């Protein structure tokens, strides 16, 4: 009976820890790396799938690479004030210009990592919709007809928070975060995508899940496109 009671008490504890594992991990980071600076980049990506093929778009910074529609979250003035109070600073790897201004690509004092993610999870003072990048990358560019997309429906699928790691590119510890959404087009919008699939637009690629996993390679064929590693997040 004692063993049964112990198991009965232990299971809820394990369940609670599993549900809050992200918070526990970030609290540990705040303690272990409290004297370090950590680069954090958060983004959102669109899973757009038609007849078993995924839509990827040519990258704006890396023009030879194809990737999911999406981009880095933006921060509002309110969010900037909150982050400044934590000692968070702009990342210096990407030049700050009209496109990158307000991106949630920052350097966080290690001791503030838990507090940063608590703020991020609150969704206050930051972008909380994938509409902007969809509009900028597919509509304002003329790839899709704006009149058929006055609004979009989407499902939130998941959030991936990579474990902390050392980035040689950033020369610092780094945490990457990605929210993944699935587009749910209406009948008229689906037809627009079908027309796009047959148009062979130079900035669009329709690829299989295997191509995404293999970074664009197709067995027995010359590689014609390069696919970003983070594209695998939409699978």
Helices and strands in the chain: count of H runs, count of E runs: 7, 12
Written as six digits, the tokens of 50 are 């038609």
Residue 1 pLDDT? 54
Residue 226 and residue 212: Cα distance in Å, rounded?
9
Distances 40 to 51, 54, 169, 198 between C-alpha atoms, Å? 35, 27, 13, 39
Q: How much is the pTM?
A: 0.86
Residue 80 pLDDT? 95
Q: Which long-range contacts (CB under 8 A, 24 or more apart) does 157-165 make?
A: 157/47, 157/181, 157/182, 160/233, 161/22, 163/25, 164/29, 164/33, 164/38
Task: Return the DSSP state at 90.
Answer: E
Residues of the chain with pLDDT under 50: 3, 5-7, 9-19
Residue 150 pLDDT? 96
Q: What is the 3-state secondary structure (H, E, C) of 53-64?
A: EEEEEECCCCCC
Cα 83 to chain centroid, rounded: 20
Alpha helices by DSSP H, the chain: 2-19, 21-32, 77-86, 113-122, 131-134, 187-199, 209-213
Helix (H) or strand (E) holding 172: strand 172-183
Distances 138 to 26, 32, 35, 89, 182 between C-alpha atoms, Å? 35, 42, 42, 31, 15
């Amino acid at each position: 009976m004692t063993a049964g009671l112990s198991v009965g008490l232990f299971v809820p504890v394990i369940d609670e820890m599993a549900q809050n594992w992200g918070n526990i991990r970030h609290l540990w980071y705040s303690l272990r790396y409290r004297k370090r600076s950590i680069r954090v980049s958060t983004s959102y990506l669109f899973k757009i799938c038609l007849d078993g093929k995924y839509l990827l778009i040519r990258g704006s910074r890396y023009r030879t690479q194809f990737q999911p529609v999406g981009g880095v979250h933006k921060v509002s003035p309110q969010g900037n004030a909150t982050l400044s109070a934590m000692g968070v600073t702009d990342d210096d790897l990407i030049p700050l210009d009209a496109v990158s201004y307000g991106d949630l690509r920052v350097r966080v004092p290690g001791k503030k990592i838990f507090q940063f993610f608590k703020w991020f999870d609150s969704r206050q003072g930051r972008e909380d919709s994938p509409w902007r990048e969809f509009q900028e990358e597919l509509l304002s560019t003329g790839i899709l007809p704006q009149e058929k997309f006055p609004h979009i429906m989407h499902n939130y699928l998941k959030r991936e928070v990579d474990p902390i790691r050392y980035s040689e590119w950033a020369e610092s510890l780094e945490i990457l975060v990605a929210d993944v959404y699935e587009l749910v087009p209406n009948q008229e919008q689906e037809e627009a995508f079908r027309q796009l699939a047959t148009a062979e637009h130079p900035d669009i690629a329709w690829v299989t899940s295997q191509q995404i996993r293999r970074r664009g390679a197709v067995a027995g064929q010359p590689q014609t496109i390069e696919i970003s590693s983070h594209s695998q997040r939409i699978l």
